[in-house]
Structure 1
Amino acid sequence: MSSRDPFQSYTWKSDIFSCDSNDISTFYARLNEQVTRLGLLERKLGDAGRYPLNLYQSPAQKSGQPSLLISAGFHGEEAAGPWGLLHFLNELEPELFQQINLSLLPLVNPTGFKRGHRFNQLGENPNRGFVLDNGRGKSNDDTSAEGKVLLEHSQLLQAASKDGILTCHEDVLLTDTYIYSFEANQNPGPFSKHLRDTLGQFFPIAQDGEIDDCPVRDGIIFNHFDLSFEAFLVRLGASVGVCSETPGKQNLDQRILANSAIMQAFIDQVNARQ
């Protein structure tokens, strides 16, 4: 499989948002509108270049409700995740917060996003180097500046993702879709299959074989523990985890709608499990 060039720039046009995929000022302006409308709590974790790395949480988090974390924008050329999260927020009604505690990391790698390339402005991969050592987060030589910020707040993120972590990625080399999923089972259960099928409504599901040296079966790479953010949070105790992979060779707006749909499906499935 051909490898991704971390500094090749990818941009597309979105008709849904009437802008280019790397239009970061429009992205943040639209995000702020939704944060205000929904009354989300904004918490600055640190900085990513000259941009803040913020966590947003639903107001009045309640101890009896499931706590879910949705994250996007770890890789700058995977634009449909952050825009999909914005689309999801546009459709969201605040009544949902009576059922779940929702936390959001909408754009982890803004410097890569703005340039349309995979790595951050320092040439680091923000989805590597999440080490768990004696129950605590620890960085290694692969940990990015953004990763270090997230690791500093690993207890907060552990609580936020207790009942599930969804992180939205894309694969710019593919026309098919697949997911990584984590469940405390030997095989993928209804949760994983439902999320795969949600993406399958938008794109063909990847054939069995290998993607990035991982075995994919029925569109699912199952319980693959690497040093990614989502695997780290599952190790820390998140009861389920999913990393969605929409195909970058397909239409951007279709990918945005697919990301928005899997966010809703993730919440519905975790609610159904409770």
Structure 2
Amino acid sequence: MSRSPYQRYSWQSEIFECASHDIDRFMALLDEECQRLNLKQRVLGKVEGQPLLLLQSPNASAGLPSILISSGFHGEEAAGPWGLLHFLSGVSPEIFERVNLSLLPLNNPTGFIKGHRFNIFGENPNRGYLAGVDDAKPTIEGKILLEHGQLLQAASKDGILTCHEDVLQTHTYLYSFEPRQQPGAFSQQLLGALAESFDVAMDADIDGCPVNNGFIFNHFDSSFEAWLVRSGAKVGACSETPATQNFDRRILANSAVMQRFVDFTLAQ
């Protein structure tokens, strides 16, 4: 069974008191958090009038670790962006004294509005970043991100986390990247955060990739996170929450894995 690029999904969040595809409420609440935290807001580009935003620490320091959190590459994976918003609501400004934090909150706004996987042009915004890996070409969103490649590579030098969902799954799993033969502490910590909300997927194949103990490990395709790891990020992960489960639970799980990513970085 494969995901449909055009099937529309919509959930209601009691946490945020809105529908999952309510981009106006999402952007308004995001702006409130940016103002509270004094985050730098940069519009990398626009797709059909909707901005691709990069948010960054108020004053980055060369002596601090630099990590990037991204979400919303697929429009039917709405708990990622809302989870990022929930994560931000719990952040204290003092965190920026310890880490250079960058965030790409919503990378497929046209798909998010429709509640379907691909963008409005029928393209997959999470493919085409690594040339020669597959036949995928960068989408309009991908071209915007690639145009800012050096900026994003610097922002993710100590780690990249991108938060996805799987509308076919009842269990959670994690794509992870570490410079080792088996999943290490980084991978285990992030999967552990997800496992506090959902059962971990049993060993199987998902999207043609073997899952072992909840991990798809060091699988390099042409995705955004694989590109950044190839470009020098020390570690990387792509979390997958099960979109057959309760929406608010998924929001909280996405928020939790983001917090665990930050905590792991600060503990190094």
Same fold at TM > 0.5: yes
How many residue pairs get aligned? The number is 268
Kept in 2: contact 1:45–1:55 (CA 8 A) = yes
Gaps in structure 2 of 5+ consecutive residues: none
Which sits farther off after the overlay, 91-100 or 43-52? 43-52
Letter in 2 for 1:57: Q
- Tell me the percent identity: 62
Within 5 Å, which residues of 2 pair with 1:17-166?
17-131=16-130, 142-166=137-161
Whole-angstrom distance in 2 between the partners of 1:16 and 1:91: 14
Gaps in structure 1 of 5+ consecutive residues: 134-138
In the TM superposition, what is the alpha-carbon distance from 1:272 to its structure 2 partner? 1.6
Matched, 1:173 2:168: yes
Whole-angstrom distance in 2 between the partners of 1:248 and 1:84: 13
User: Deviation string for 1:178-215 (max 9, x for gaps)?
Assistant: 00000000000011011101100100100011111001
Kept in 2: contact 1:125–1:142 (CA 8 A) = no
Whole-angstrom distance in 1 between the partners of 2:5 and 2:240: 17
Q: Secondary structure at the match of 1:131?
A: coil
2:235 corresponds to: 240
In the TM superposition, what is the alpha-carbon distance from 1:141 to its structure 2 partner? 5.0
**TM-score between both structures, scaled by the size of structure 1:** 0.96
Kept in 1: contact 2:194–2:257 (CA 8 A) = yes
Q: Secondary structure at the match of 1:151?
A: helix
Q: Secondary structure at the match of 1:44?
A: strand
Whole-angstrom distance in 1 between the partners of 2:69 and 2:58: 16
Kept in 1: contact 2:43–2:52 (CA 8 A) = yes
Kept in 2: contact 1:181–1:242 (CA 8 A) = yes
Whole-angstrom distance in 2 between the partners of 1:181 and 1:127: 16
Whole-angstrom distance in 1 between the partners of 2:131 and 2:124: 18
Q: Secondary structure at the match of 2:264?
A: helix
Kept in 1: contact 2:175–2:238 (CA 8 A) = yes
User: Deviation string for 1:12-53 (max 9, x for gaps)?
Assistant: 000000000000100000000000000000111111221011
Kept in 2: contact 1:70–1:103 (CA 8 A) = yes
Matched, 1:205 2:208: no
In the TM superposition, what is the alpha-carbon distance from 1:271 to its structure 2 partner? 1.6
1:136 corresponds to: none
Letter in 1 for 2:85: L
Matched, 1:224 2:223: no
**TM-score between both structures, scaled by the size of structure 2:** 0.98
Q: Secondary structure at the match of 1:233?
A: helix
2:177 corresponds to: 182
User: Deviation string for 1:214-241 (max 9, x for gaps)?
Assistant: 0111101000000000000000000000
Q: RMSD between aligned alpha carbons?
A: 1.4
Kept in 2: contact 1:131–1:140 (CA 8 A) = no
Letter in 1 for 2:223: S
Kept in 1: contact 2:15–2:248 (CA 8 A) = yes
Of 246, 258, 261, 1:266 maps to 261
In the TM superposition, what is the alpha-carbon distance from 1:142 to its structure 2 partner? 2.5
1:67–1:8 CA distance, 2 compared to 1 (3 A): same
1:132–1:141 CA distance, 2 compared to 1 (3 A): closer
| Displacement over 6 Å in runs of 4+ | none
User: Deviation string for 1:142-200 (max 9, x for gaps)?
Assistant: 31100000000000000000000000000000110000000000000011011101100
